[in-house]
Amino acid sequence: MSSQKEQSLPTRLLFIRHAQTEWNIQRRFQGHGDSPITEEGQEQLQRLKSRLAGLEFDVVYSSDLRRTMETSKMLSGKQRVKEPRLRERGVGILEGLNLEQIMAEHAEAFRAFRSGDKDHQIEGGESLQIALNRAWIFLEEIPEKHPGAELAAVSHAGLIRLICKQILGLALDAPNFFQIPNTSLTQLVFSPKDRSWSLECLADTTHLQPVFDPLVVI
């Protein structure tokens, strides 16, 4: 049972996108499917581990897909939880295909998929609204389960973007004017006073920037 002091403190949830995968660099649609983390992705993981060194989260949540589970191993946590509601939006018949293959096999379905309609559901996949709904139910549970806690959640670009749009009051079908790079950090904070989530930091990739070496002369 949480104390009164814990209930008055903000709950912090750090969202982290998984490291780069083979399908990412091949520009294949990747929803509930999976592909191995690349060599560059492994380097991203090491940089992420260094960035978060010394931090121990109360709970580390992760989507149950392989790429997020592997990324979550870079984080230190008192407890680890696999959470299917943190999966990427399901892309159905587009799964694993590149744009050339999609236009050859599913051109009409793809045009509808890209129309921006938040309720459009491609064959075998999820609409933007359905994907957000499952993630938002997860978020609504967090403050009651973990008042005043420091948490992490390893998830996917599409889902993190939907959550951020909801918090910022943007339409789900609004243009994607911000990116969620691999291993980027997005900090959410829940205020017990306001009973709402806010966005403290969006897609921070400081750990991926080149390290300045003062001995190198340009």
Helix, strand, coil % in the chain, rounded to nearest 5: 40, 20, 40
- Burial call 187-200: b when 16+ CB within 10 Å, e when fewer: ebebeeeeeebeee
Instruction: State the burial class of residue 78 (Cβ atoms within 10 Å of its Cβ: 0-12, 13-18, 19+).
Output: exposed
- Burial call 21-58: b when 16+ CB within 10 Å, e when fewer: bebbeeebbbbbbbbebbeebeebbebbbebbeeeebe
* Cβ-contact 135, 153 below 8 angstroms: no
Residues that are catalytic = 18, 88
